[in-house]
Amino acid sequence: MFWNAVPDDGEYFKPKPKQLKANEHPIIVNDFRIAACNAIEAGFDGVEINSANSYIIDQFLNDQVNDRTDEYGGSIENRCRLALEIIGAVVEEIGADRVGVKPSLFSEVYGKKDSNPEFLSTYLATEFTKLGVLYRHVIEPKDEPRCLKSIRSAFEGTLLLLVDTIKLMEMKQLLKVMLIWF
């Protein structure tokens, strides 16, 4: 028997999204910090902060979804603020050598793509370097990698690349980095 998220009668509660209030941001940041601390206490070597797949960080980063008019919306610096606050808190809590980040800036958030994912990706890579993040998980469109070179030049840590199919020699020439394959 398979689990079904929709009750047999077809009626279910679908929550309506709401914009976070300014006083809720520190709670979100602290939740990530606590989760990272718990992971280390449980015996994990480190954590990967998933800022992809339409999760909360992805929603703040995407300029087509983030319609805020406060310090968390508008400019690229403002849209990245929550992500960098979260990553900064986790780095402070468990150490940068235990933190990786997985943004997926070429994906859609609620059917909408960021208008300039190359610029956003490079900006974040620079900021991740400043925070000392151990690795950046890179997810690029398999049909046309767009900004691997700019990410590599902006990010001093390790890059993990996730692609479906690509020729090894092409990738080595493009990145000139240590590759980790799964």
What is the set of active-site residues?
55
- Report yes or no: 53 and 103 within 8 Å, Cβ to Cβ: no
Nearest CA-CA partner of 153 in 177, 117, 120, 173: 177
- Contacts with 162 (C-beta within 8 Å, 6 or more apart), sequence order: 137, 138, 139, 182
CA dihedral over 29, 98, 166, 175, signed as positive or negative: positive
Q: What is the CA radius of gyration of the chain?
A: 18
Q: Where do runs of H (alpha helix) occur along the chain?
A: 25-41, 56-61, 76-94, 117-131, 148-154, 168-175
In the Cβ-directed half-sphere of 87, how many Cα atoms lie within 13 Å? 29
